[in-house]
Amino acid sequence: MSLTYPDDRFYHAEHLWAQSKPDGTFLIGITDFAQSQLGDVVFVDLPAVGEHFDQGASCASIESVKVVSEAIIPVAGEIVAVNEALADTPELLNQSPYADGWLVVVRPDNGTSGLLSAAQYAQQVG
């Protein structure tokens, strides 16, 4: 199965994506590459709404059958929503990393500096 990287979002070198929404927020999730490396996800520890993170900080922990990984937030900002569905169905990260398996919504402090296009990210992960 080949991995996909949709062109409608930006990518962080630490394997998270940020998709700009019409209201100025960003939807954040893990990449197809990240979920493939993690294996079966069994638990996700998400931040609280209202927390603020700097770009490159850990905003969540993702536990799989293989490892516990930190989710590195691709844009600085305030968490305005979390994906509550992950509490009961963490496997959404594996099944739907670009849709139902999103992690958080962020109101950004600034833009997308330092992020990669889909093509640049695909080249980075080979």
User: What are the 10-residue block averages of pLDDT along the chain, 126 residues in total?
Assistant: 92 97 97 97 98 97 96 97 98 97 97 93 95
- pLDDT value of residue 32: 97
**What are the angstrom distances between the C-alpha of 73 and each of 1, 2, 65, 97?**
27, 25, 22, 15
Number of helices and strands (H, E) in the chain?
4, 9
Q: How far apart are CA 73 and CA 69, in angstroms?
A: 13
Q: How far apart are CA 112 and CA 55, in angstroms?
A: 10
The architecture in CATH of the region 10-110 reads Beta Barrel (2.40)
Residue ranges per structural domain of the chain: 10-110
